[in-house]
Chains A and B, each alone.
Chain A
């Protein structure tokens, strides 16, 4: 099973659907420590990205990933759009000209995308940002694939690690983004960016499962 244009379209569509469902929860999280727009913005952005991907006949993953990234940057408006946008744009650079990605190519593209998030946001692990989800998630993906367990299992481990990372942000004090203005008062709340990242990676796991095997939703993506 390889990651191709159809997998990407399925992922974006499923992510848009899950984020639409979770948008009020996400916005509530953001209301506690941010500017209360994360859920709405991110749901709109992924909906736009999914629509554009569905309408684009190309099977070049470089083209499709880049289009998704640019769409997120222009339609989300906030920092999370820039961060997710850069994930897809950077991943697109690694996938340029390919119509499908082997496991190791997918890992390389995603690692590049994760580096794009870190680069744009200047955040480190422990800063209470989406990096706290993406960092462990990509590590789990890498060791899952290295262990030879296959893509489905590796993506399951990846999504689980993202959820653990998401939960780990609760006690942290924010050091980046709007929440950092709250200082110690940001502790005790889950970071909305880490939460949407976990949804995104759970959607990826399920989208890949669906394309290769009967649907097995182990997580409905709620926060």
Chain B
């Protein structure tokens, strides 16, 4: 087992921490305090000799094979380091200095040590103690004082008791039914519902309390499936609020997931399902059965070696990082080709993480200064970074800790001599891939033809792996919970990705039934794919043009295969990003031509550069903006750099000489901007004419409607344009004045907000006055639930990410225009996004 050494400037403090720890471990973990100095005139300080003595003392206890050293600040760190340097060689490798906070870290590490934890495990536990404390305080510090006072008495007195001297609190006990606990989306629903009532509502889990109206607090409670949440409400509408929350909980907190575990508002725990039949999240449609391939990735084991040559270790580490980055780039290229730009973007994030300067700097510091091997330096740097992510209050960012560790593991595997490929699942025959968790990089490697289906213990319907599985057309059930212990390689499994069910020992009857269902599903899918090639029209014969959003020429073939009838949004920024100088006019011309030629006369809308302070171009100096989303973005950016802008206009005008191309401008907010654009277009035209180059002198010009200003001004902006295209993602953010990357307000940002629906309506009305078409190119366009609403509102063209096209086309064919108009008129009277979304989700 391992022991602990506690180093402090103060002998009293070190001894005091030791006493707290002793209380927990009762002598079962060898422990020594090294506090203060032996100088009577200066007792506060540290002494490496004392630390060394303490380490040796712990080491000589029976059965100790490792020592974790926790310390306070400054010279305590230095003394501990000096002591480790003085240790005998064979002991030195088994002593770990841990940066965790002294008191919390010591308690956590000692408890882990008591239960047989390794040095590394105890250190991890110690570090996590900080995150737990940070979360706890984040939840408590923002609570209104009155609630804080009321909370403990309500809890200790048990259900139904009212705290003395306060308004009686109503209590509700919920057993969290969701597979993944109260993760971001159910938490957002709970928060937005709670906010609608005039009541103070708090949620308590164990000893932690969160205000029900704070997204961050609710999400960081970390309530998991089966956890018992106590909801307490005071105030005029306490009763109504609790009734509404109860209904939401019974409804699985709005998670539209096939979960067979019953949702219960009770005090007993959720029942486990039949062991042979598991249920999880229906992550990707389809039926699969066959032999299981159980993927158990081995985390690289890191042994710290000191006394290594820093120059050699530095080289090893930078080589390994470069190799992993190369590998990620090739995976990215592969995914880009097989799946699409959105999914490939996951690997951009991984590339940035693995090449992070801070990560490298901190590892190199260990390598140079502590003379450790590259593996140990990198591992420690990873853990520090992951801890930093984990303690962020934004749950989305906190989850990035896993990405850092995922990508960091690749470097460790590379360092340990196995290539970065090693460790991914290697299927040799078609099988069902079974794993605790599949990282995007794991899934990107598998050959789809070898994978019949996917089952994972962890995961959600919205995580990257689920998205990739859907894009690759692989049936998948995720979030099944612990079951790997019940599966062996080669065992026959069956899964239904549409229902979220997994059978560990399917009977002959079940298999037959599944086979039939699978055939029917495959037939239906083939039919959808096939019919996607045909134009889409409503039942009453109204044609709706369905196009694709693309980032470059390589996206076109995939989009056409999925039934795109054109490109409604060609984002040109990918031409401009990730390079050191702007693309030349000729290069742009080639790219636009390449896209247009593949489309063979189908419509193409090219959007001019849409960048801003959030993603500045390296070759253009840009001022720092405190608020880039309200800064120089889109058209504003281009108008400020007329040379680059005019070059793009010239390239588009020239490409449009041969193929039907329309031009579109992003982020418009005033009439004057369009006047400037017209002047620049005229200038570009007369230049081209003077140079004798072919161009389209009457190009159709349109604008993105993304700002509330453009919505309100649509009735006069219409005079200068030939079409409108509504970008619902940005429009929803700007309409709601909420940033969707901020978890506290992200739930406000949905295109189903009544304000957004009305904005779309208003824009369509303005366009109608001049008879110009309106298209829609945000995420909403690809959501089949929204299709009847959009058609009913009068949108004539939809442009979306290519994989959504077949389903949206199928949906269009079910729609009757008159009925969709009635539906749209009805929804325009709704007052809540939840109601609108719910109405549209009705079958």
Listed in ascending order, the chain A residues whose CB lies under 8 Å from chain B are 37, 40-41, 44, 70, 73-79, 81-83, 85-86, 118-122, 177-178
Contacts and interface: CB of A to CB of B under 8 A. Distances in A.
Given A82-B75, A82-B78, 5 more contacts: A40-B42, A44-B41, A74-B48, A77-B42, A120-B82
B48 A82 contact: yes
How would you classify the secondary structure of chain B's contact residues: helix, strand, loop or mixed?
A: loop
Contacts of B75: 77-79, 81-82
A118 B45 CA distance: 20
A120 B369 CA distance: 8
Contact of B45 (A70, A77, A86, A178): A77
20 contacts: A40-B41, A40-B42, A44-B39, A73-B79, A75-B37, A77-B9, A77-B42, A77-B45, A78-B46, A81-B45, A81-B75, A82-B46, A82-B78, A83-B78, A85-B48, A118-B369, A120-B81, A120-B82, A121-B78, A122-B369
Interface string B53-93: 00000000000000000000111001101100000000000
Contacts of A178: 73-74
Contacts of A73: 47-49, 79, 82
A82 B45 CA distance: 11
B365 interface: yes
A125 to B, nearest CB: 15
A61 to B, nearest CB: 20
Contacts of B9: 77
Contacts of B44: 37, 77
Contacts of B38: 74
A77 B78 contact: no
B116 to A, nearest CB: 34
A76 B745 CA distance: 53
A176 B41 CA distance: 26
Nearest to A82: B78
Contacts of A40: 41-42
Given A78-B74, A81-B75, A119 B369 contact: yes
B371 to A, nearest CB: 9
Interface of B: 9, 37-39, 41-42, 44-49, 73-75, 78-79, 81-82, 365, 368-369
A175 to B, nearest CB: 13
B613 to A, nearest CB: 27
B149 to A, nearest CB: 33
A44 B41 CA distance: 10
Contacts of B79: 73, 82
Contacts of B47: 73-74, 77
A154 B411 CA distance: 47
How would you classify the secondary structure of chain A's contact residues: helix, strand, loop or mixed?
A: helix
Nearest to A40: B42
Contacts, number: 65
A86 B44 CA distance: 20
Given A120-B81, A120-B82, A177 B49 contact: no
A18 B464 CA distance: 66
B42 A37 contact: yes
B82 A76 contact: no
A79 B76 CA distance: 8
Contacts of B82: 73, 82, 85-86, 120
Given A73-B47, A119-B369, A79 B78 contact: yes
Nearest to B83: A73
A171 B697 CA distance: 63
Nearest to A181: B73
Nearest to B369: A119
Which 10 residue pairs are nearest across A and B when measured between Cβ atoms?
A77-B45, A82-B78, A79-B75, A77-B37, A119-B369, A79-B74, A74-B47, A82-B75, A77-B42, A74-B49
B74 A120 contact: no
Contacts of A83: 78
B753 to A, nearest CB: 43
Nearest to A48: B39
A77 B42 CA distance: 7
Given A73-B79, A121-B78, A41 B365 contact: no
Contacts of A41: 42, 45
B35 to A, nearest CB: 11
Nearest to A70: B49
Contacts of B78: 79, 82-83, 86, 120-121
A134 B213 CA distance: 56
B377 to A, nearest CB: 14
Contacts of B81: 120
Contacts of A82: 46, 48, 75, 78-79, 82
Contacts of B365: 122
B39 A177 contact: no
B74 A177 contact: yes
A78 B76 CA distance: 8
Contacts of A77: 9, 37, 39, 42, 44-47, 75
A49 B48 CA distance: 16
B357 to A, nearest CB: 16
Nearest to A89: B82
A74 B36 CA distance: 11
Contacts of A120: 78, 81-82
A119 B41 CA distance: 29
Contacts of B46: 77-78, 82
Contacts of B368: 119
Nearest to B371: A119
A38 to B, nearest CB: 11
Contacts of B49: 70, 73-74
B42 A44 contact: yes
Contacts of A74: 37-38, 47-49
A37 B41 CA distance: 11
Contacts of B41: 40, 44
Nearest to A37: B42
Nearest to B43: A77
A178 B49 CA distance: 22
A25 B168 CA distance: 64
Contacts of B42: 37, 40-41, 44, 77
A44 B9 CA distance: 18
Nearest to B47: A74
Contacts of A177: 74
A114 to B, nearest CB: 14
B210 to A, nearest CB: 31
Contacts of B48: 73-74, 82, 85
B86 to A, nearest CB: 9
A78 B369 contact: no
Contacts of A81: 45, 75
Contacts of B37: 74-75, 77
A79 B38 CA distance: 16
Contacts of A70: 49
Nearest to A85: B82
Contacts of B369: 118-119, 122
B74 A75 contact: no
Q: Which of A79, A85, A86, A178 has the largest count of B CB atoms less than 10 A from its CB? A: A79
A122 B77 CA distance: 11
A85 to B, nearest CB: 7
Nearest to B41: A44
Nearest to B44: A77
B686 to A, nearest CB: 56
A122 B368 CA distance: 10
A86 B41 CA distance: 23
A176 to B, nearest CB: 9
A20 B95 CA distance: 38
Contacts of B73: 178
A103 B406 CA distance: 52
A121 B75 CA distance: 9
Nearest to A118: B369
A83 B46 CA distance: 12
A76 B74 contact: no
A77 B45 CA distance: 4
Contacts of A75: 37, 39
A77 B49 CA distance: 11
B743 to A, nearest CB: 29
